[in-house]
Amino acid sequence: TQVQTFITFPAMMLKNPMDGMPLEWKLVTMIAAFQGACAVGQQLAQYKNHYNRGVVVFIILFRTIFAALFIVQAVKTDLGFITTVWFAYINIFFFAATFGFIQTALFILATSTVQVDKKEVIGYTTVFIMILGVCLGAIFSLPLRNVGSVDLPI
């Protein structure tokens, strides 16, 4: 999920301007929406009695749709409701909420399935994989930097 998130966020999500909104305001509001929705997802993951490993795997696969929609929004500007302002915010909300949920749920599930003396190793391993995902996402996002109609000063 880290690789998928950081390939598309924030560069792909912020590529096209929105009608009636300066690009600077889009940057600020979209990043704030991502952070807020991510916090909502992290809070939802605290209710660990309501999900299991299968639910988390399904959400990981399902959120690929949101990443694909970011790419479509960056490439095409004439796809009806998919390229509207409200759809962009709905997409970022669900993308970020699922990211926060998955990230927290995986940490909870990973440490709850091992013996007490192995929890430190699992904690280190999950953090290492998370950081590796961020790095790979940043590297894989480089080929996508020229996709779309606006070049961001990033």
- State pLDDT tens for residues 70-111: 777 777 667 777 777 788 888 889 988 998 999 999 889 888
Q: What is the per-residue pLDDT for 138?
A: 74
Enclosing H/E stretch for 44: helix 23-44
The DSSP string of 80-125 is GGGGSHHHHHHHHHHHHHHHHHHHHHHHHHHHHTS-GGGHHHHHHH
- State pLDDT tens for residues 2-51: 555 655 666 666 666 666 778 778 778 888 888 899 999 999 999 988 88
Token pair of 143, please?
Answer: 């080929």
Q: What is the per-residue pLDDT for 8?
A: 61
Residue with tokens 């080929």: 143
* Secondary structure class of 133 (helix, strand, coil): helix
